[in-house]
Structures are given as C-alpha cells and as structure tokens.
Amino acid sequence: MFNLNLLLMSNYRNEVTSSERSIWKNNFAAESGNIFDKFQNTPIVLSKSIYEQICIKYNAHLSIYFGLDNSGNPQVIALPTYKIDELDSNNLSRAWDDITGSDSLFELYSNKSIDINTAKTYLQNWLNNNSNHEFFIRSFIFPRTNFIQIFENQNEDYALLDFGLKKQIKVMTQSCYVNGNPASSPIVADYSWPCPPTCRVNSDLHL
C-alpha cells in the first residue's frame, strides 16, 4: 500500500534535488486511476494572504484536507493546526489539534473562507468516494517552518503543492505564480505528517 507523504520547499530540512522531483512527478503521472489526479490537474496554490491569516494570525501550523463538492469537483480545505504539549497527561491521545473557528477555514481553489458545515460536506464526500483506495489520505499537516522560506524570507506571493511518487506519494511545495506555474527552480523537502497515521482525532473535521 502506498502512503501519501508531503514534500515541502525549504532550504532547512530533508532537501531533494530538482532532478529527483522530476522523476517523482513522472512516476506519479504514470499511475492510472489515481484518486489525486484531479488535484494534480488543478494546481493547489496557497496564497501568502491565506498563509498569514492561518499561520501568522493564529501562530500555528497549516492543515489541508482533501474534499469533493456535490458535483465531484476537488476542494482543498486549509486551516490552522497546533501542537499540543506532549507533557500534558490529559492530552496524550492528541498530539495535534485543529482550529475550526468561523474565520479560520479556507478553500484554496476559490481562495475564499468557508464555514465548518461546508467543509464537513466536502470531506464526507471525499471519504465516501475514496476511503478504500490504496492511495487514500484525508489530510496533511505542514509545519510553518516550511513556508517561512517561501513567504517571509523570499517574499513570494504563492506556494504550489504538487504530487510525486517514490514508493510513497510525495506532495511538493515551491514558490509559484497565481495560476500555479512555478516561479523558480524549487528546493524540495519531505517534511510533513499525513493522516493517517498522524490524525487530529478530536478535530471537528475528523469525521
């Protein structure tokens, strides 16, 4: 079974070369019937403005959840997530948790805020259609450090998330233009946590 992992642009952690990235993307493209093809064909772009509203406003990391609307179109929900103190004995079962307030949920394709009920509908559609697929992943946690290089140090306006495959599926992040075209040769790093196995079980979005 393949697991979906995340590759993030950073010159700090777990870097891979641009040639490796190309190989991984080609491997991913060769997989037929991949449930993530819709997300790959419609680039996932995180804007600096949404990064600021999620990561800076809440001093948090970033969660994305995969979803489908009622017509089967891909939706990517983004929101803040934070690490719970592992020394707190009352919280040992939940190392991470999401912030799902009225102003913390965004859909990345529309670049707009959404409410929790809409997010739950998208997620439930994704679960209903794909939870038995060998590539199934419901969400990812992106540590904020991976975006500091793009949005704060390089002062870029957009980050692209795209997919590759090397035994595990990789999702790569680099600076890009608003339409998803890469803005520069990426520095790629594999540094993230997929759900499963790392899930926010007490989150309102863990359906």
Average pLDDT, rounded, for the chain: 82
Residue 127 scores a pLDDT above 90: yes
CA gap 64, 173 in Å, rounded: 13
Distances (CA, A) of 91 to 43, 87, 150, 203: 36, 8, 32, 13
pLDDT at position 167 is 66
Query: Mean pLDDT highest for which of 77-91, 136-150, 155-169?
Result: 136-150
149's CB contacts (< 8 A; 6+ apart) are 9, 10, 11, 12, 187
* Phi, psi (deg, nearest 5) at residue 53: -70, -25
pLDDT in tens, 43-62: 999 999 999 999 999 999 99
Q: What is the pLDDT of residue 187?
A: 57
Locate 133 and state its tokens.
């697929």
